[in-house]
Structure 1
Amino acid sequence: MPAARLGRAAREAVSGLPREFWWLWTSTLVNRLGAFVATFMALYLTLDRGYSASYAGLVASLHGLGGVVSALGGGVMADRVGRRPTLLLAQSATAVSVALLGFMTDPVAIAGVAFLVGMSANASRPAVQAMMADIVRPEDRVRAFSLNYWAINLGFAVSSAAAGFIAEFSYLAGFLIEAGMTAVCALVVFLKVPESRPAAPARKDEPQVGLGTVLRDGRYMAVVGLSFLVALIFQQGSVALPVAMGRAGFTPADYGLAIAVNGILIVALQIPVTRFIEHRDPRTLLVVSSVLAGYGFGLTAFAGSVGAFMATVCVWTLAEIVNAPTQTGLVVRLSPVHGRGRYQGMYSLSWSVAALVAPLMAGQVIDRFGATWLWATCAVVGTVAGLGYGLLMRGLRDRGAGGEGPGRGRGRTADGSGPAVTAAEHSPTA
């Protein structure tokens, strides 16, 4: 029975994960369901406040810069202070700053508070990813990260649709609703999510993990660099694609139809695709997804209709579905237990920097050479990233499982309440 098989697949996709994960997942979903501000910020500044497009771009850049600043800071806090306190502080600060932003009228004040919003919102990401690595068994981590990514996209799809209706009623209401939803996230973490940070090393001779450790980890920094290249490609869906379609004579509604395919496919396919890739070689998955992303955007050069643009979106969205959980799982595997926050912070930094660089890159290439050259560049960058993953992961072995080396696999939570992770040795990835 197709229905029976579908139900069994759904149960298998969500079974075996700890209760703490599901509360953290719920917090993520609630957070994204209330993510209105990022959707209508440009319209709010230009239409409601009457500022120029250049000023709106400056505010967006400052929001992104705040994320760059906090990526490493949030990771360090997650390791030093704990995952739970970092989450509570970041989410509480986000709720306050988002509400405050809705009442700002001075352009300098708006820009400054937007920077604070970006900084506080991004500070929670390393803590969430480190906590998931702490509480989920190594063999279930790709599935857990995939489910979390699915929640992010489901929430964003709903909030994006709702943002337009809320903006017609009141922009201030959008700010306050997001602030309230973020406060609910903090409440869920406070009431239901325990601390998961492994206790400090028992032996004083065990090496301490600092940011310098991360920077000196050549293989890991190479992964961060490749992640930056892949992120540059995926950013073009929201940065270059609307510009290119506009210059080709398509309307904003046409772009909306094309990009909607991205969210619909992620919500529909993320879970079944994850079941297919969950136990497959991550080296192959990362090589294929990187090349597929590059050439998915490369095919945009040949698109001449809305349907053709939608087809190209399908190609690179499939790459995104495969790449996101696999890449995050690789980051965890390369991270030592007591440095997961810092390692996740560096990984988050690669995406934050890409979000800043991508608009500049797209604008310069399109203005100087045309959109076709940008799509060709995406194909080249995707090929380079794929080759990089193929070479980097040749003969790669886990550090235990998700960073647990021999003798370090079983830790205790920071409050000493019980096991934080379960160690398991994995076979080589190649």
Structure 2
Amino acid sequence: MKKLFASYIDSFSGLRKEIWLLALITLINRAGTMVIPFLSLYLTKSQGFSLEQVGWILTFFGLGSVTGSFLGGKLTDIFGHYKTMAGSLIGSSVLFVLLQFPQDFWTFCLGIYLVMSIADIFRPAVFVAISAYSKPQNRTRSLTLIRLAINLGFSAGPALGGLIIATAGYDGLFWVDGITCLFAGVLLLKLLHPKRAVEEPEEEITNTASAYQDKLYWVFIVALMLFGLVFIQYFSTVPLYYSEVHQLSELEIGLILGLNGFFIFLFEMPLIKYLENRNSGTLNYVIFGAFLTALSFLVINLTGWVGIIIVGMLLVTIGEMIAFPFSNTFALIRSQGKKRGSYMALYSMAFSVSHIFGHNSGMQLIDNFGYDFTWYTMTGLAVICILLLLLLKKFLAREAA
């Protein structure tokens, strides 16, 4: 047991203090955005919107995410990651509080679009910050630590969010979201000055072509869009499934969603270190992660036993733990010697585009065909993602020949 614990601790060693501070700020920010996993429930139960209306509102959520990712890349190039992240955190803190006041459909569409446009400016800036504050040999583990902070935040956030809804109602969520985002912004300004960045020469750019001209990278991005479209159902349509089909309360739903982040927090870093040591190929790991995600939707259709939703959540959690870090690593490897900013921006935007179509399509499918058909559809889309990644492997082998 001591050896196992020592190995676990060792997987976190060697990371700079600034990366830990960035992880802390990200943790506070993500724990604070607890309104997001409960958004579909809030819109249907508290605001009385139909599933079709919720689908369109979540499309505006995705459009705002794409806008934010694009603006984040531009603003980071102009003002740097430090000012961009601080502006995003402080700006979104105000908008999260204001989001509780829109009552009609189009006003809420505009509100969620503005919130996500400002909040997701943070995402590309974080990638640049990780690059600035980490040593090259620790960059992948630094990325994984930030992901752990995000998932621990999503673990604590839904559980706390369910408790807040049970005691103070949905309005309390918006106030807590705003306060925590503001607190994260203040911490960033106080603790993470850009002068703390690693002083190492910039990587030499030997190919000036951007990611948008890389045809094979586009195959990868399309596969990621499909994977993202399937995966995000766990944060919009799946909570509705838990509520309507299995009759779970908001608190119980929050605890199940919290299991996802907590499991990732405990096991992702050791798992990534173990898989890296096996060196079985970055894309192979992404494919396996997509397979487990497909399986998670398949199994919940096999039985009405309530325990199957835990099985499904564990499958998608392990799939996420494997697919996301290694897809990020593939993007970093593919961008070596090229314009890294465009590659990482396109990588971020892949998941933002998934938000545009994923939530809405999931809601429309459920409204018209029911949950079973929707989960089989998501399984099929994940299979198409796997086939695209297998095709990409074949193309890459030809390219390397």
- In the superposition, the TM-score normalised over structure 1's length comes to 0.79
Deviation at 1:342, TM superposition (A): 3.1
- Give the equivalent residue in structure 2 for 1:229: 226
How far residue 323 of structure 1 moved from its aligned partner, in angstroms, is: 0.9
Which deviations, in whole Å up to 9, do the C-alpha atoms of 1:141-179 show, x marking residues without a partner?
332222222211211221222223334326554333322
* Whole-Å separation in 1 of the counterparts to 2:178 and 2:324: 27
- Corresponding position: 1:21 with 2:19: yes
Q: Which residue of 2 aligns with 1:94?
A: 92
Looking at structure 2, the residues matched to 140 and 353 of structure 1 have their Cα atoms a distance apart, in angstroms, of 29
Matched, 1:214 2:208: no
Q: Which has the larger radius of gyration?
A: 1
Kindly provide the amino acid, as one letter, of the partner of residue 152 in structure 2.
L
For these two proteins, the number of residue pairs brought into alignment is: 391
Shift of residue 273, structure 1, vs aligned partner: 1.4
Partner of 1:289 in structure 2? Answer: 289
Query: In the superposition, relative to structure 1, how do residues 362 and 100 fare at CA in structure 2: closer, same or farther (>3 Å)?
Result: closer
Change (3 A) 1:236 1:99: closer
Query: In 2, distance between residues paired with 1:102 and 1:22?
Result: 33
The letter of the residue matching 1:343 is Y
Deviates more, 1:163-172 or 1:276-285: 163-172
- Going from structure 1 to structure 2, the CA distance change for 1:87 and 1:225 (only over 3 Å counts) comes to same
Q: CA RMSD in A?
A: 3.4
Q: Percent identity?
A: 25
- The answer as to whether partners of 2:58 and 2:355 remain within 8 angstroms in 1 is no
Match of 1:180 in 2: 179
2:126 alignment partner AA: V
Aligned to 2:261: 263
DSSP 3-state at the match of 1:278: helix
In structure 2, how many angstroms separate the alpha carbons of the residues matched to 1:258 and 1:45? Answer: 20
C-alpha distance in structure 2 between counterparts of 1:201 and 1:245, whole Å? 49
Post-superposition shift, 1:370? 4.9
Residue 349 (str. 1) matches residue 349 (str. 2) = yes
Conserved 8 A contact 1:34-1:159 = yes
Q: Report the residue type matching 1:250 in the other structure.
A: H
- What is the alpha-carbon distance in structure 1 between the residues aligned to residue 21 and residue 242 of structure 2? 40
The answer on whether the counterparts of 2:55 and 2:362 sit within 8 Å (CA) in structure 1 is: no
Residue identity matched to 1:189: L
Alignment correspondent of 1:85: 83
After superposition, the Cα gap between the structure-2 partners of 1:36 and 1:294, relative to the gap in structure 1 and judged at 3 Å, is: closer
Equivalent residue number for residue 252 of structure 1:
248
CA distance, structure 1, for counterparts of residue 207 and residue 338 of structure 2: 10
Structure 2 CA distance for aligned equivalents of residues 302 and 258 of structure 1: 19
1:32 and 2:35 matched: no
Residue identity matched to 1:307: G
- Give the 3-state SS of the residue equivalent to 1:341 in structure 2: helix
Per the normalisation by structure 2, the TM-score is 0.84
CA contact (8 A) 2:233 2:362 kept: yes
| Aligned equivalent of 1:52, options 45, 49, 53 | 49
Separation in 1, partners of 2:341, 2:76? 5
Task: Give, in whole Å, the separation in 2 of the partners of 1:308 and 1:170.
Answer: 29
Which ranges in structure 1 are unaligned for 5 or more consecutive residues? 398-427
Deviations 1:61-110 (A, max 9, x none): 32332112222221232234322222122112112222333455676554
- Looking at structure 2, the residues matched to 255 and 380 of structure 1 have their Cα atoms a distance apart, in angstroms, of 26
Which amino acid in 2 is paired with 1:289?
Answer: G
CA distance in 2, matches of 1:89, 1:386: 38
The correspondence for 2:235, drawn from 235, 238, 250, is: 238
C-alpha change, 1:256 and 1:163, in structure 2 (3 Å) is closer
Q: Per the alignment, in what secondary structure is the counterpart of residue 246 of structure 2?
A: coil
State the structure with bigger RCO (CA 8 A, min sep 6), 1 or 2. Answer: 2
Inter-CA distance 301–104: structure 2 relative to 1 (3 Å threshold): closer
Alignment correspondent of 1:74? 72
Residues 25-424 of structure 1: matches in 2 within 5 Å? 25-42=23-40, 50-53=47-50, 57-102=55-100, 109-167=107-165, 168-169=167-168, 171-195=170-194, 213-244=210-241, 249-253=245-249, 259-279=257-277, 280=279, 281-336=281-336, 339-366=339-366, 370-393=370-393
